[in-house]
Amino acid sequence: MTTAGDIMHRGAQWIPAHETLDRAAQLMRELNVGALPISDENERLCGILTDRDIVVGCVAMGHDPARITAGEMAQGTPRWIDSGADVGEVLQEMKGHQIRRLPVIENKRLVGMISEADLAQHLTDEQLAGWVESVYSRSGTG
């Protein structure tokens, strides 16, 4: 059985909720990633911040990224998967919530992220096509 831990990329890092968006953008550049999980003061997942969130939700709205925090951008209930979950569960979580990045948790700690690139490397063509169709569909059904 292939698990979330098998297909994730390790080395994912949190951005604390109190950090500003300009700092988040710098960290994304340093890590060469387009998304960061947001942690609360107890290092628990409280959201995911994407580069698009910074551009569309802050800069394009005329806000100063040095004055807006990652926590202020966190919206909705964050989704995650346990490192021991099988690939079918990973796909179900991502399809069901139409998400493209999924934090992987082990013993209540962030251990990695699963992205589109990770799926492309580990799924069959049929699995990948089904995921793409459901995540990118306009209707939101999966």
Tell me the sheet residues that pair with 9: 113
Instruction: Round to whole Å and give the CA distance between 84 and 140.
Output: 27
Q: Residue 6: CA atoms inside 13 Å, Cβ hemisphere, count?
A: 12
Whole-angstrom distance, CA of residue 112 vs CA of residue 132 = 21
Q: What are phi and psi of 4, to 5 degrees?
A: -55, -40
pLDDT cut 90: percent of the chain above it: 52
Q: What pLDDT score was predicted for residue 142?
A: 39
Q: State the Cα angle at 40 between 140 and 116, rounded to 5°.
A: 35
Position 113 pLDDT exceeds 80: yes
pTM value is 0.81
CA distance 98 to 92: 10
Q: List, in order of start, the domains of the chain with CATH numbers.
A: 4-135 (3.10.580.10)
